[in-house]
Chains A and B, each alone.
Chain A
Amino acid sequence: MKPENKLVIVFSTLVRAFAMSLGALALGWGVTMTEGLGASVMAAVVAVVLGELFSRSRMKLGALLGGASVLFALSLTVSRVITATEVIPQWAGPAGALMIAVFLRFGALVFTGVFVLRVLAARKRSLVALELAALSAAIVSVFATHRDGVLVRPLWLSDWAWSVGLEPVQVLLGVGVISVTTLAVLLIVQSRNGRAVSALIALFALGLLAIMTVNAVGLPAPQAETDLGLLTPPGDPPNPSRADAGNGGGPGDQGDASEREGGSDRSDAGEGEGGTSSDGGGDSSIEGGAGAQGGDGGDGGASAGSDGGDGGSSSSLDGGDGSASASGSSDGGDGGASAAQDGGDSGLSQVPISPSQSDGGESEGGAGRPPPRPPSDDLENERQQSQSQQQRQSPLAVLILRDDYDPPAQAYYLRQIAWSQYNGTRLIPPTRMELDRDIPRGYPTEAMTLEERAPRAGRTLVHQTIALLTEHNNPFGIEGAFRFEPARNPNPSRFTRAYHVQSLAQTTPYRALFGRRVGNPAWTPELRALYLQAPTDPRYRALADTIVRTMPAARRADPFARVVAIKLWLDHELIYTTRARHMGASDPTADMLWGNKRGYCVHFAHAAVFLWRTLGIPSRIGSGYHVDAQNRGSASTIIVRSGDGHAWPEVFVEGLGWVVVDIAAERNEDPPGQPQDDDERDRLGEMAREQPADPQEPPRPQQQTPQRNRAREMARAAARAFPWVLLLVLAGLYGVKFWRRWIPSFANGKPAARVSYRAALDMLAEAGIAREYGETREGFSRRMAGSVPSLKALTDEVQRAKLGARDESAPDATELRAALSRVAGEVRKLKPWWRRLIGKLNPTSWLDAV
């Protein structure tokens, strides 16, 4: 039936066996172990060979398929029997029995599949496609993980590639080329048609196109974190974020507010303690007094504890803070977010955080960080020492300012949430709906305007777009935000979410606030009382009074002057350090204020709010991010980093709303943060704006050698030229097509026969009719004699011109043209108009005219 060359048969069987065992290997890789894989490979080879043999035998197709399925069922049963009965495990041991069973099962599975496919393909030509499809699907399944852009996914492959010094993508491309070539060879062997050359050329062009596209467009980058450095290496202590804020920024930006007052303390330890508060609160409160001292050393896991403890979404901010201070989590935002969820649950349900977690936090805190240093006055010294420790801060979000805005505080306060409700130990995010209605309680799914907004007076409308690089559980914006709107994510592989914010941001300078009244007259007395709740500890009141008494008499009655006085006192008295721990205390704020006076933003904010509230000034803690105005520079992009998490006290000024009055300790024991990387800011900003990054600066300069850059440049140039090249090629093809069609009108003499005949062949090729391989010219014209009888005249002329004697007379060009137009008319009747249109549009139809 098929007088095929034996060599060809053996060769194609070998190739097929190889390809099929590869496919079996690919399918089985993740599913089974050595025995199963070995069985699969062997079964694939055997099945290909047997399939080839049996398909050539005289057995009926149905019998072959039936036999294969019977064999399959038999093997499965046997493999089950092996493990189900006791005889074989006793003889071969349980592991051996299992091995045999696996061997049988996978062998039978692969054998049946490959055998059936092979027999079907050999008997029914068209079903070769089925076999090829199964094979390619099996091979492709290895790279199924690529769909998310995880290109390095078969790790065994990319590890090997890296170890040899190759780029995994190149290796993958190579694998693709090899498998495509294998498939193509299989197809060609199958068809044995000489016309496969053009198909191969097309395949090659497609491959080239694919590679160029990859080079030009690039591959999806799934892990934005890695290449942007969002993940700091573990063990690298995260940066104490408040270094800038509390220290450098503090005196400068809050210089307006000048006031100081002694007060109570340890607001913050409360939150730390809150983690275990429900059960541990009692005993720790006893220690609380002593905890003033021991707090530092003791509560290494303050942040972790606080996260878990006071629950609610507030802890997201804690997390941001806490991670900055706790060494364990490398990513502030992530840590915050994840901890927030735990904390939220446990806090709301009053269930203590799981011991393991708090342990972990504490142990991390304890182990990851050197024991706290003794208080030292030599701050300069320390700062210089610590300056050497440059720590990397990973970006969490990108904020694009759509309106120009310069905050009077010289820093952008991005409020995410507010803590205004006093729970007996510390302030927590409001559980009562009437509190803080100027804070969004979730992400907008559509444009969302908050019920309460700051008045317009003294504020300016600022449009912002924020793209989050890590997950946050509450949106944030420049303080005074009142309208949130979801935005299209400019780059989903990098940003988790994007949204627009409109804020009425404060423009009134702090100086102008003196003499203003505090509190909102629209509040109910009950609501106002909620904003005034503070610890009952009399020391707070006493401290506040003491501070007020230091004020000039004329100013003493001015509530905002009191606010500033207390702020300045705290600025002066408190020492900023992220190593401060007040978790064990029943009132961590008091533990700090009347203890070692060391703490960080959360402690300070609690101290300020408690002192203000005892003086009858409605206040709360805002939490979110604090970005120094210097970091913005001239750009309109603000990068929020993991170190920017912050909590700050706020005062409600009548007619202006909530005003940030941050505490900036004059003394700082933490090392300063690293300067911002302006390039990175610009790059992220561009990305968030959906604009391409600067082409001069590839996104990963540190990973690219100049050679690679050049190669990439060249590839890019080639890719840019590709459409033009394609267009040129297309134009060329059409040009040739029309040339071949029109030249008979001008040809004379001997060549006329050839060009006329060629034009006739072109017409036939457009209709999808072509001479077969090995068919003679006369044979073709005889085959077409029924539908295109005029072809014969042209054929005879061209044959005479080519094969006849040299002194043959030249053909009559007019005759030829007449014959050609007859052919055109005959071809027109052959096919419907749409088929002819397709033929006319096909630029390569003339390639078939052979």
Chain B
Amino acid sequence: MTMDTPGVDFENSPHITHTLAPAINDLNGAWGVVERFRNRIRLAVRGRDEAIEIVICALLADGHVLLEDYPGSGKTTLAKALGDCLIDDKPDDIIVTFRRIQFTPDLLPSDVTGTTIFDPNTHRFFFRSGPVFAHIVLADEINRTSPKVQSAMLEAMAEKQVTVDNRTRKLDELFFVIATQNPLDLAGTFPLPSAQLDRFLFKVKMTHVARDAELEILASAQARRANTGNDLPRVTRTEVCDARRVIETQVHVAPQVRECLVDIAQNTRRDPRVLQGASTRSLVLAMPALQARALMNQRNYVSGEDIAALSGLIFSHRLEVAPGVESVDAVLADCAREPLESLARLALKR
């Protein structure tokens, strides 16, 4: 369902809105965006509500997500459903709604970013954009490709721009990457170094789908194939960007919450079981994520609950623990306990 093919029937395209959506300028509007995402994706992906929440949260927080899961557990379905939710309301540019890149060892950076091609007709070089020029990019099995390609991808993720032949091209404001990697079958892979892992806002370890959800998936396969729910409202690119802005400005972050977050990071650096603690960048990235999660829980303030829920996702792939320490999550829980407690005590203080 590619959008850039010419000769598309614009009038009937489901990807183009025909009525002007009201501008998003308060939290209610942002909440509406969240709801629309939720409803559509939940219909397409069953039994993965938690992962859906995380992905929406990351999208609204302007961060990227690394999904770590077994094959066939719905990663791609989730990413595609997300892409399906979006409406590109800027159809003039070269950027499309959704692209998927399947990483392989022999992939080259230009396969990702695009390349300049000589046109014999015009005797000029022109730029053929790569798959990163999309709003939502699914980077499948990102650890299977060479570091060269990985770094090209990661530059795009960090800077939201691509440099080809010394010319830097901007990506869209809403550039969102869902990368996946397979925790098994590590032979011939290039594990991402921690500096590159730092580019991902969340690293999500998905688990097997519960029995009931699995039954439901089987039962609803027919309906999903028939594109039921395709008429549910979608979200335009502008709406997402507006929602991001609204969330960042209107969800209140109390100074104690910031203290709590910083204290957790400090604790990770002080803990003898941790070789490298949480980076400052991770804290900067964390703030919008916390705000987004607060909104998604119908709050206009960030609470300790958000920190407790997200700290594992934000920090666990950024910490390097000493050899012999089995669980990063346990270390993080230990580091977070005391700051969270003092934040919780705040409620009873005058």
- Closest Cβ of chain B to A296, distance in Å, is 92
- Dominant secondary structure of chain A at its interface with chain B: helix
A804 at the interface (CB under 8 A from B): yes
Contacting residues, chain A, for B257 (C-beta < 8 A):
803
In the complex, the answer to whether B350 meets A774 with C-beta atoms within 8 Å is no
In the complex, the answer to whether A804 meets B301 with C-beta atoms within 8 Å is yes
Contacting residues, chain B, for A3 (C-beta < 8 A):
273, 325-327, 330-331, 334
In the complex, the answer to whether B308 meets A779 with C-beta atoms within 8 Å is yes
**A3-B327, A777-B347, A779-B308 in contact; A799/B340 too (CB < 8 A)?**
no
A694 at the interface (CB under 8 A from B): no
In the complex, the answer to whether A778 meets B301 with C-beta atoms within 8 Å is no
**A776-B304, A777-B344 in contact; A802/B272 too (CB < 8 A)?**
no
> In the docked arrangement, what's the CA distance between A148 and B236, Å?
89
> In the docked arrangement, what's the CA distance between A187 and B37, Å?
51
B348 at the interface (CB under 8 A from A): yes
Nearest CB to that of B302 among chain A residues? Answer: A803
> In the docked arrangement, what's the CA distance between A147 and B348, Å?
49
Contacting residues, chain B, for A194 (C-beta < 8 A):
338, 341
Interface residues of B in 294-313 (CB under 8 A from A): 299-305, 307-308
> In the docked arrangement, what's the CA distance between A464 and B135, Å?
111
Contacting residues, chain A, for B347 (C-beta < 8 A):
754, 757, 777, 798-799, 802
Nearest CB to that of A800 among chain B residues? Answer: B301
- Closest Cβ of chain A to B235, distance in Å, is 26
Nearest CB to that of B326 among chain A residues? Answer: A3
> In the docked arrangement, what's the CA distance between A773 and B343, Å?
11
In the complex, the answer to whether A774 meets B338 with C-beta atoms within 8 Å is yes
> In the docked arrangement, what's the CA distance between A850 and B256, Å?
18
**A194-B341, A773-B341, A803-B256 in contact; A758/B303 too (CB < 8 A)?**
no
- Closest Cβ of chain B to A118, distance in Å, is 23
- Closest Cβ of chain B to A780, distance in Å, is 8
Contacting residues, chain A, for B326 (C-beta < 8 A):
3
Nearest CB to that of A797 among chain B residues? Answer: B347
**A805-B252, A805-B301 in contact; A754/B350 too (CB < 8 A)?**
yes
A153 at the interface (CB under 8 A from B): no
- Closest Cβ of chain A to B339, distance in Å, is 9
In the complex, the answer to whether B334 meets A776 with C-beta atoms within 8 Å is no
Total interface residues in chain A, CB < 8 Å:
27
Nearest CB to that of A3 among chain B residues? Answer: B330
B58 at the interface (CB under 8 A from A): no
A771 at the interface (CB under 8 A from B): yes
Query: Which size class do B's interface residues fall under?
Result: 35 or more
B336 at the interface (CB under 8 A from A): yes
Contacting residues, chain B, for A761 (C-beta < 8 A):
348
In the complex, the answer to whether A799 meets B348 with C-beta atoms within 8 Å is no
Contacting residues, chain B, for A799 (C-beta < 8 A):
299, 301, 303, 347
> In the docked arrangement, what's the CA distance between A198 and B302, Å?
31
In the complex, the answer to whether B300 meets A775 with C-beta atoms within 8 Å is no
B90 at the interface (CB under 8 A from A): no
> In the docked arrangement, what's the CA distance between A800 and B252, Å?
10
- Closest Cβ of chain B to A755, distance in Å, is 9
With a 10 A CB-CB cut-off, give which of A7, A774, A778 has the most chain B CB atoms.
A774
B226 at the interface (CB under 8 A from A): no
Q: Which of B272, B303, B333, B337 contacts A777 (CB 8 A)?
A: B303
**A804-B300, A804-B301 in contact; A6/B344 too (CB < 8 A)?**
no
**A3-B334, A802-B346 in contact; A777/B341 too (CB < 8 A)?**
no
Nearest CB to that of B330 among chain A residues? Answer: A3
Q: Which of B300, B331, B340 contacts A774 (CB 8 A)?
A: B340
Contacting residues, chain A, for B325 (C-beta < 8 A):
3
A163 at the interface (CB under 8 A from B): no
Contacting residues, chain B, for A751 (C-beta < 8 A):
350
In the complex, the answer to whether B308 meets A803 with C-beta atoms within 8 Å is no
Interface residues of A in 753-804 (CB under 8 A from B): 754, 757-758, 761, 771, 773-779, 796, 798-800, 802-804
> In the docked arrangement, what's the CA distance between A424 and B305, Å?
108
With a 10 A CB-CB cut-off, give which of B273, B300, B333, B347 has the most chain A CB atoms.
B347
Nearest CB to that of B325 among chain A residues? Answer: A3
Interface residues of A in 802-842 (CB under 8 A from B): 802-805
In the complex, the answer to whether A778 meets B348 with C-beta atoms within 8 Å is no
B20 at the interface (CB under 8 A from A): no
> In the docked arrangement, what's the CA distance between A194 and B341, Å?
10
> In the docked arrangement, what's the CA distance between A798 and B304, Å?
13
Interface residues of B in 251-303 (CB under 8 A from A): 252, 254, 256-257, 272-273, 299-303
B124 at the interface (CB under 8 A from A): no
In the complex, the answer to whether B272 meets A778 with C-beta atoms within 8 Å is no
Contacting residues, chain B, for A771 (C-beta < 8 A):
344
Contacting residues, chain A, for B348 (C-beta < 8 A):
754, 757-758, 761, 850
A126 at the interface (CB under 8 A from B): no
- Closest Cβ of chain A to B125, distance in Å, is 53
B123 at the interface (CB under 8 A from A): no
In the complex, the answer to whether B273 meets A778 with C-beta atoms within 8 Å is no
Contacting residues, chain B, for A779 (C-beta < 8 A):
305, 308
Contacting residues, chain B, for A803 (C-beta < 8 A):
252, 254, 256-257, 301-303, 346
Interface residues of B in 79-136 (CB under 8 A from A): none
> In the docked arrangement, what's the CA distance between A800 and B325, Å?
38
In the complex, the answer to whether A776 meets B344 with C-beta atoms within 8 Å is yes
- Closest Cβ of chain A to B27, distance in Å, is 11
> In the docked arrangement, what's the CA distance between A773 and B308, Å?
13
Contacting residues, chain B, for A775 (C-beta < 8 A):
340-341, 344
Contacting residues, chain B, for A773 (C-beta < 8 A):
337, 341
> In the docked arrangement, what's the CA distance between A757 and B336, Å?
24
B211 at the interface (CB under 8 A from A): no
Contacting residues, chain A, for B225 (C-beta < 8 A):
none
> In the docked arrangement, what's the CA distance between A777 and B348, Å?
11
In the complex, the answer to whether A850 meets B345 with C-beta atoms within 8 Å is yes
With a 10 A CB-CB cut-off, give which of A3, A7, A798 has the most chain B CB atoms.
A3
Contacting residues, chain A, for B256 (C-beta < 8 A):
802-803
In the complex, the answer to whether A776 meets B300 with C-beta atoms within 8 Å is no
Write out, one digit per residue, whether chain B residues 225-258 have a CB within 8 A of any chain A CB (1) or not (0). Answer: 0000000000000000000000000001010110
> In the docked arrangement, what's the CA distance between A798 and B346, Å?
10
> In the docked arrangement, what's the CA distance between A3 and B302, Å?
30
Contacting residues, chain B, for A524 (C-beta < 8 A):
none
In the complex, the answer to whether B301 meets A774 with C-beta atoms within 8 Å is no
> In the docked arrangement, what's the CA distance between A797 and B336, Å?
24
Contacting residues, chain A, for B273 (C-beta < 8 A):
3
A349 at the interface (CB under 8 A from B): no
A5 at the interface (CB under 8 A from B): yes
- Closest Cβ of chain B to A307, distance in Å, is 80
In the complex, the answer to whether A774 meets B272 with C-beta atoms within 8 Å is no
Contacting residues, chain A, for B303 (C-beta < 8 A):
776-778, 799, 803
Contacting residues, chain A, for B338 (C-beta < 8 A):
194, 774
In the complex, the answer to whether B304 meets A778 with C-beta atoms within 8 Å is yes
In the complex, the answer to whether B341 meets A6 with C-beta atoms within 8 Å is no
Contacting residues, chain B, for A6 (C-beta < 8 A):
272
Contacting residues, chain A, for B304 (C-beta < 8 A):
776-778
In the complex, the answer to whether B252 meets A774 with C-beta atoms within 8 Å is no
Nearest CB to that of A806 among chain B residues? Answer: B252
In the complex, the answer to whether A774 meets B330 with C-beta atoms within 8 Å is no
Contacting residues, chain B, for A850 (C-beta < 8 A):
344-345, 348
> In the docked arrangement, what's the CA distance between A194 and B342, Å?
12
> In the docked arrangement, what's the CA distance between A767 and B343, Å?
24
Contacting residues, chain B, for A800 (C-beta < 8 A):
299-301
- Closest Cβ of chain B to A765, distance in Å, is 12
> In the docked arrangement, what's the CA distance between A751 and B347, Å?
10
> In the docked arrangement, what's the CA distance between A105 and B334, Å?
45
* 7 A-B contacts (beta carbon < 8 Å): A757-B347, A776-B304, A778-B304, A800-B300, A803-B252, A803-B346, A805-B301
Besides A774-B338, A779-B308, A796-B299, 4 more A-B contacts (Cβ < 8 Å) are A774-B333, A776-B305, A777-B303, A800-B299
Which 7 A-B residue pairs are closest in the complex by CB-CB distance? A774-B337, A778-B305, A805-B252, A804-B301, A776-B304, A803-B254, A803-B301
B residues engaging A (CB < 8 A)? 252, 254, 256-257, 272-273, 299-305, 307-308, 325-327, 330-331, 333-334, 336-338, 340-341, 343-350
